[in-house]
Amino acid sequence: MATTNIKLGTVYTDIRGDMSVNPANDDLLLNKNENAIQNSIVNLLTTNFYERPFQADIGSNVMGLLFELDTPQTVYNLREAITNTIQAYEPRCQLIDVIIESDSDRNQYNVEISYYITNAEAPQIFNTILKRVR
């Protein structure tokens, strides 16, 4: 996580996941502010425990929960796993709410995550779909 202080506030930047290169200067392209934090949240939620070498505690059990039966308890466990992961490993945002809707016909969960970016005024809403991947 790189930060740059400017007159308007803090700019959060991360390297893009696809490692895209700017054709003009051959530098890596960066995600900034909202996109950087959204990509970080997606990476945290799709990483299981013990997948990162030397950082076994970083991640969540979200992928494991997707193979459970579609019950209200599973939705509750998903919400808790997402909330705990974001609060523990994403210090650049302050979580407001996590709303999960089960879509059992498509075997997926629709997730809406709302949060404030640190030092920003407007809340951000991030929608994603969690589905099983074998």
CATH code: domain of residue 66: 3.10.450.40
- Cα 42–Cα 62–Cα 46 angle in degrees, nearest 5: 30
Q: Is residue 9 part of a domain?
A: no
Q: Is residue 95 part of a domain?
A: yes
Residue 2 pLDDT greater than 60, yes or no: no
Average pLDDT taken over every residue of the chain? 87
pTM above 0.85, yes or no: no
Residue range(s) defining the domain that contains residue 78: 34-131
Number of domains in the chain: 1
| Tens-place pLDDT, residues 67-106 | 999 999 999 999 999 999 999 999 999 999 999 999 989 9
Q: Is residue 15 part of a domain?
A: no
Mean pLDDT (whole number) for 125-130: 94
Q: Is residue 6 part of a domain?
A: no
Q: Is residue 4 part of a domain?
A: no
Give the helix ranges, DSSP H, for 23-101.
Answer: 34-46, 62-65, 72-89
Handedness of CA 124, 128, 130, 133 (dihedral sign): negative
Whole-number pLDDT of residue 7: 45
